[in-house]
Amino acid sequence: MAEKEVLIEVKDLKKYFNVGKKAVLKAVDGVNFKIYKGETLGLVGESGCGKTTCGKTVMGLYEATGGQVIFDGVDIHSLHKKEKKEFTKRAQIIFQDPYSSLNPRMTVEDIIGEGIDIHGLYKGEERRQRIHQLLEMVGLNKEHALRFPHEFSGGQRQRIGIARALAIEPEFIVCDEPISALDVSIQAQVVNLLIKLQKELGLTYLFIAHDLSMVKHISDRVGVMYLGSMVEFADSDELYSKPLHPYTKALMSAIPIPDPKAEKEKKRIPIEGEIPSPINPKPGCRFAARCKYATEACKQTTPELTEVLPGHFVACHRVKEVNALGL
C-alpha cells in the first residue's frame, strides 16, 4: 500500500451556475481530493450539496468555473477535441436515473455499442460478441440485446448503463448515485456487481451516494461534502468510527443500527434549521449557521481542509477543541 499511484487529482475545483442577475449558485466551491489507482473514493452528503455536479465536472461534462482536474498528469479541462476523445475512452460515468439515461429509441445493443462505434473498437461480428460478453458480465442474457430499454426493470436498466460504461474498457468510472433509484434488494446486487467488476478489471471508482452504509461498504476512502465544499476526508473505517467534523458526526449518528436495543440507546445528534441556499453563499464556514460550536471566527473565515490526524482531513476551525484532541 506504500506506493499508491495517483490517477485523478482534483485541485480547488469550482463550478458556479448563473441563476439570474448577480445570483450565482456555487454548486461546487473549491473541492480538493486525490484518487489512487484501483481504489474507490466515496463522496457523501445530503441532497443538493453538489456531489453530482462534482462528479460531472470531474468527467468534463460541465465546464469547470475554476480549478483543475488532473487525470494521469493532464488537466482534462484544457484538452483539445482529439485528446478529449482519448480521455473519454479512459473515464466513464454511470448515471443516477436508469430511466432517463437510456435512449428510448435505441436497442440495448446500440446503447452498449455506442462507445464501441464512437471509438471504432470493434466491427460486425466482433462487436456483437463483445456486446454479448458485456451483457453476461453485468448479469443479463444475450437475448436482451435486441430489446428496447422500456422492456426492462429499473435494476436491469442500471445494468445496461453499467455495461455501456464498461464497453470501452475505461480505467476510471464515476458512479453517480447508481443505486439510489433502485429498491434495496437490487441495490445490493448492483453494488456487489460493481465490486466484482472492480476486482476483475482493476477499475477505479468515484462513488457518489447519500446512503452512508452503502458508501462504507464499497469505499476505501470517503469524502463528506456540505454545500459545495468538502468538510471531512478520511479512510472509510476511520471516518465512520471517529468522525471529527460536527456535520459528519451528526450524519453518522443518523445511520440506523440493525439492532433494536442499540438503536434505542443510540444518541442522535440533531442539526437545527434547514440547509442554506447555495446561491450567493455568505463568507465563512458553510456549516456555521447550523453548527452548535460555531464562533464569530467561523462566520468570518472559511476553514481550510487540513490534515488533523494522519490521512484524516477536516475543514473546521474548532476541530481540536471540539474533539479534545489536545494538540
Task: Give residues in contact with another protein (CB under 8 A).
Answer: 56, 59-61, 84-85, 88-89, 91-93, 95-97, 100-107, 111, 114-115, 118-119, 141, 143-144, 146-148, 150, 161, 164, 168
Minimum Å gap between C-beta 12 and another protein is 23
The residue among 39 and 177 lying less far from another protein, judged by its C-beta, is: 177
A 10 A CB-CB count for 309 gives 15
Three cell numbers written together for 141: 442474457
The residue among 59 and 194 lying less far from another protein, judged by its C-beta, is: 59
Minimum Å gap between C-beta 40 and another protein is 19
Q: How far apart are CA 276 and CA 193, in angstroms?
A: 37
The residue among 106 and 289 lying less far from another protein, judged by its C-beta, is: 106
For 5-69, give the DSSP string. PEEEEEEEEEEEEE-STT-EEEEEEEEEEEEETT-EEEEE--TTSSHHHHHHHHTTSS--SEEEE
Residue linked to cell 473546521: 316
Minimum Å gap between C-beta 175 and another protein is 13
The residue among 146 and 262 lying less far from another protein, judged by its C-beta, is: 146
Residue of 1, 121, 16, 109 whose CA lies nearest to 66: 16
Q: How far apart are CA 190 and CA 158, in angstroms?
A: 8
A 10 A CB-CB count for 139 gives 16
Three cell numbers written together for 39: 481504489
Three cell numbers written together for 221: 476512502
Minimum Å gap between C-beta 41 and another protein is 18
Minimum Å gap between C-beta 173 and another protein is 10
For 67-99, give the DSSP string. EEEEETTEEGGG--HHHHHHHHHHEEEE-S-TT
Minimum Å gap between C-beta 148 and another protein is 7
Residues paired with residue 174 on neighbouring β-strands, in sequence order: 93, 206
Minimum Å gap between C-beta 122 and another protein is 14
